[in-house]
Amino acid sequence: MLEDWLRNGSVGTQGFIQRWVSRLLYYDVSAWVFTLAYLVFALVVTWRLVPPRQRM
């Protein structure tokens, strides 16, 4: 509240911690970004659990 008052001259409805936690938890991006992130994560995990065999 002090930060809001010093910046704007008025007190906002959210506190400092609540505002930053909300920004970290709730993203405003397209669905394809999450799909790509999940796909990359799945590929990395699969690669680490089942590494490719070397050819003889």
The pLDDT, as a whole number, for residue 38 is 95
* 17 falls within a domain: yes
Residue 50 has pLDDT above 70, yes or no: yes
Position 30 in a domain: yes
Which residues form the domain of 35?
A: 2-49
CA distance linking residue 37 with residue 43, whole number of Å: 10
Residue 38 located in a structural domain: yes
Domain count, the chain: 1
Q: Supply the Cα-derived Rg of the chain in whole angstroms.
A: 22
pLDDT, one tens digit per residue, over 18-30 is 878 888 888 788 9
pTM of the predicted protein model: 0.49
Q: Which residues contact 16 (CB under 8 A, 6 or more apart)?
A: 1, 3, 4
Condensed to tens digits (0 to 9), the pLDDT of residues 1-14 reads 666 667 676 666 77
What's the rounded mean pLDDT across residues 20-47?
A: 90
